Amino acid sequence: MPSRGFQDANSVAEKSSVNPWPDLLESSNSGTQVAFSGGFHDADVVITTYKEYGEDRLIRLAKQVATRANYPNCDYSISRGRRLICVDIMFDKFVRHEDGVATFNFPAGDIVLCLSESDVPKPIGVILEAGKHVEGELNGLRGTRRMLESEVFTPKSLGYPTSYSFQIKRSFIGLVGAICEGFFTLAAVTAFPVIVYFLIFPRKKKVAEPPEVDPNAAEPSLTANQTKYEQTRRRLLPLLLLPFLLVMQLAGPAMHYSNEWIPPDLAHAATNLTIWVTVPFCLLLPAVLLVRNSRERRKQADTTTNPLRIMPFLLIPMVILFGLLMFGQSTLSLRIPVETYRLMVRGTLAATFGILAVGIIYNMRRQTVRLEPGDPDYDYAMSLATSANVRLRAVRLSKTPTANAAATLFRTIILTSGVREKMSVEERRAIIAHEVGHLKYSHVPIYFAVTLALNLVFFAIYFSAQTYLRQAYPNVREFLVLSPLLLNMALIFGIRLVASPLSRKNELAADRFALQSIGSFTVVATALSRIHLLNGSPHTYMGLDKVAGTHPSLLKRIDSLRIAAGELGMEASFDPFAPLPGADLPPVIAGV
């Protein structure tokens, strides 16, 4: 039983005034807990005590208990922790199924009496698990009564003879999980080898002819970007959000109850097949991508590369981690020790963060080019940083066509090739001044620290609420606690909603610094407008984008610049919807 289960049992014991009760979370090395639980295909008696009792002695005791219960042919599973050891007596083969209902009757009195007569550490605590999905019934000297929630007893309070039976009806939500698991298994078995094959032997691409330029086509404009943004948002948001919310609410409970619809042998076979296919795939894929990447670079040294190309490697441990967390409560069905499962989760977490760090360094060092003295952008950035008393370590060029720039934690400014090729010298200087402003006001480390602190606070609140909900509202536990997707969604939206106002405020402060450095409202406003235009960004955000966006809308930024220009005594006449000047841009870009 995990520590969370011991906490729940201790809480129930304290609430019911059961005394003496063995608290296995303490290090007193005294006491034993025995838990009776059942599922649609399983019935288990888990005996947990301290490691000093000995594994061999505990297994012999478990066999005596099974024989005393008249089920000598049970299966056994042993689990070891740092201080505790437990044996699971599995009565799965004796569970009866009829008309979609599973039932089993534990001779609880005989089992507890056998433990009381043994040399197992005392006192003994008895846990009978029941809940919304498991309907329990206790038969003893005091008559018969239904159990709607888990209860705890001492051997004396339980009495002898006593039997505990449970009844479980198939849940429709489990059918959803069974279908999902079948789909995932089929996808793993069929799609992964196909993906590897096409990565190793890619099909030759046909050389596409350049599209004909329509002379009557309208030129790109901020108004066109806004129209496209609104149309896409109206069309895609209901289509994507509702199914995702449905999956988010059902994924955890569905996976939890899917075993009600899948025979155990089939589930074990599908799990083993999936593992034996996906693990080699996850090990082979990084090597295949690296080989293919290097092969393409050798063929075309000057090809524009994606600065986030290393990020697919991050998805591999993330997918494994998600799978481990999703099926974390099914470790017995995977037939792996609890210690191995914990090691897998921790190793996958370490691999995820390690590959993330390697990816960032790789992008910085390999997918970008360091600009040297003599380059106009480098010289201007260093000159401005010196005059503003800002420590700037380097200016790097990222080979991506998107027009963008960024300041990093390493006090480096990154410009994309899109900025260098599609923006004038004055506009590039405005963009560089904006990034120097981020470094001057320490926006990047402050925002990083705030988001990290919010993550820690969020997890503390989430797990505290999880414990509270489990104890106070057991009926809603399955929908609020079991779904990891709910945690991910709450984390993403919660952090964005809380931290995004700080990010937007930082952007406006950096815009003001750029205005002070350049000394021209028109140049800074033109640079911002051109980046929005080149990237197809809207000039006004709608709905959640307004409150959760990391950047203010273009019109808000220009309004803020206009106020700042008035305070600085600058002329602030600029129309973002007017055609932008071509300046010294190449002929293909001029007039855009």
**One domain for residues 331 and 385:** no
Pairing of strands 394-398, 412-416: parallel
CA angle 75, 68, 152 (to 5 degrees): 85
Residue 55 lies in a domain: yes
Integer distance in angstroms from the first to the last C-alpha of the chain? 66
Distance CA 253, CA 171 (A): 10
- Supply the angle between the helices 521-534 and 554-568 in degrees, to the nearest 10: 170
Bond from prior residue into 2 cis (ω within 30 degrees of 0): no
Clarify whether residues 252 and 321 are in a common domain: yes
Q: Give CA separation, 304 vs 44, 45, 253, 296, 400, in Å.
A: 59, 61, 45, 11, 6
* Residue 339 shares a structural domain with residue 403: no
Please report, in tens digits, the pLDDT of each residue of the chain (592 residues total).
445 567 777 777 878 788 888 888 776 667 899 999 888 888 899 999 988 888 889 999 999 999 999 998 898 988 877 788 889 999 988 999 888 888 999 999 889 999 999 999 889 999 888 765 677 888 876 667 777 677 888 888 877 778 888 888 887 767 776 776 677 667 666 766 676 666 666 666 555 555 554 444 445 677 777 777 776 665 554 445 445 444 544 455 555 567 777 777 777 776 666 666 666 665 566 566 656 665 555 554 443 344 344 445 555 555 555 555 545 444 444 455 656 666 776 776 677 677 667 766 766 666 788 899 999 999 999 999 999 999 999 999 988 888 899 999 889 999 999 899 889 999 999 999 999 999 999 999 999 999 888 888 877 777 776 666 666 655 444 444 445 555 666 676 777 788 889 999 999 999 999 999 999 999 999 999 999 888 888 888 887 788 888 899 999 999 999 999 999 888 888 776 666 665 443 333 333 3
Domain boundary among 305, 331, 365: 365
| Residue 544 parent element (H or E) | helix 544-548
Residues 563 and 507 in one domain: yes
Is the same domain home to 19 and 84?
yes
* 560, part of any domain: yes
Which tokens sit at 316?
A: 């591999």
Residues 6+ apart with CB under 8 A from 578: none
- d(C-alpha 462, C-alpha 492), whole Å: 13
Nearest residue to 565 via CA among 533, 518, 528: 518
Same domain assignment for residues 430 and 562:
yes
The helix/strand/coil state of 551 is coil
- Residue 325 sits in the same domain as residue 408: no
Return the amino acid letter for 94. F
**387 and 429: one domain?**
yes
For residues 346 and 399, state if they share a domain.
no
Distances in Å between the alpha carbon of 190 and those of 60, 165, 176, 198, 317? Answer: 45, 42, 21, 13, 20
Looking at the structure, do residues 317 and 393 belong to the same domain, yes or no?
Answer: no
Dihedral angle sign, alpha carbons of residues 110, 113, 118, 123 = positive
- Burial degree of 15 (CB within 10 A; 0-12, 13-18, 19+): exposed
The candidate with the shortest Cα–Cα distance to 435, out of 378, 501, 380, 510, is 510
Boundary residue ending a domain (314, 330, 365): 365
Instruction: Kindly tell me the burial class for residue 198, based on how many C-beta atoms sit within 10 Å of its own C-beta (0-12, 13-18, 19 or more).
Output: exposed
Domain range holding 384?
Answer: 369-568
The domain total for the chain is 3
